[in-house]
Amino acid sequence: MLSIENLDVYYGEARALANVSLTLGDGEIACVIGPNGAGKTTLVNALARLLPIQTGRIQFDGEDITRLTPQELADRGIALIPEGRRLFTTMTVEENLELGCYRPAARMHRTQGLDQIYAMFPILSERRWQIAGTLSGGQQQMVAIGRALMARPKLLLIDEPSLGLAPLIITQVFETIKAIHASGVSILLIEQNAAKALSVSQRAYVLDCGAIVAQGAPETLRQSHEINAAYFGHGL
């Protein structure tokens, strides 16, 4: 469904991604794990075309999407849940959700989409008129997830959904990710919480210093002492 080939991304002179290749099969969850500063956010932001791509090629559903705009990607069914949620904190919950369906194709399903999100997160239904910035961190993450789902994505890019959340809330967020996946959405999951990420994925990549340093089945990576020692400490 998604294939990235030999991607290079620079910030000025500094190469943040070097020759990154990965694939995501139809209906899969693939995770990209790695330490702070590895280039994980750079990778999803480049995929979402929020950053320019110097070299490399990205294919989605058999189409070369390397040069498409973020709007065109939204029309193809690619949505991003960005690192740190990036809500419009002075707008209400519902206004934030509505921003997810600004494209005409998604707009047609606005009411159905809102019903779906409120069924998934009843607390957001109760708080639909609350200013988003006054929600708890976990509730804000629900809004960020809901906003992306309003676009009716086929592929969801999720950047560090567990960031800054308590363990119990992290578990709930991962349950939600599993439910979204079960509904037929493919997911590229970026996480520092390697144990959680590997537990829901069918394919895993380890990114370090802008390069893929290991890849394979989650079980294989989990059992590799070398990888555990280098990247996960006692995390697994």
Ligand X SMILES: Nc1ncnc2c1ncn2[C@@H]1O[C@H](COP(=O)(O)OP(=O)(O)OP(=O)(O)O)[C@@H](O)[C@H]1O
Instruction: Give the number of residues in contact with ligand X, rule: CB under 6 A.
Output: 12
- Within residues 49-88, the interface with Mg ion by CB under 5 A covers 83
Residue 11 binds ligand X (CB under 6 A): yes
In the list ligand X, Mg ion, none, the entry touching 39 (Cβ below 5 to 8 angstroms by class) is ligand X
Residue 162 binds ligand X (CB under 6 A): no
Residue 37 binds ligand X (CB under 6 A): yes
Residue in this structure with the two tokens 């290991």, named with its chain if needed: 214
Query: Taking CB under 5 A as the rule, which mask of x and - marks residues 9-48 in contact with Mg ion?
Result: -------------------------------xx-------
Instruction: Out of 1, 24, 33, 42, name the contact with ligand X by CB under 6 A.
Output: 42
In the list Mg ion, ligand X, none, the entry touching 77 (Cβ below 5 to 8 angstroms by class) is none
Packing angle, helices 137-149 and 110-120, rounded to 10: 150
Cβ neighbours for 1, distance < 8 A, ≥ 6 positions apart:
24, 25, 26, 27, 28, 60, 61, 154, 155, 186
Residue 201 binds Mg ion (CB under 5 A): no
Closest CA to 9 of 48, 62, 46, 59: 46
Cβ 44 to ligand X shortest distance, Å = 8
Instruction: Out of 4, 41, 148, 197, name the contact with ligand X by CB under 6 A.
Output: 41
Residue 16 binds ligand X (CB under 6 A): yes
Give the nearer residue to Mg ion in terms of CB position, either 94 or 160. Answer: 160
Q: Is the dihedral of CA 39, 41, 44, 46 positive or negative?
A: negative
Packing angle, helices 137-149 and 167-182, rounded to 10: 10
Cβ 15 to Mg ion shortest distance, Å = 17
Give the nearer residue to ligand X in terms of CB position, either 118 or 231. Answer: 231
What residues make contact with ligand X under the rule CB under 6 A? 11, 16, 34, 36-42, 83, 192
Sites of contact with Mg ion (CB under 5 A): 40-41, 83
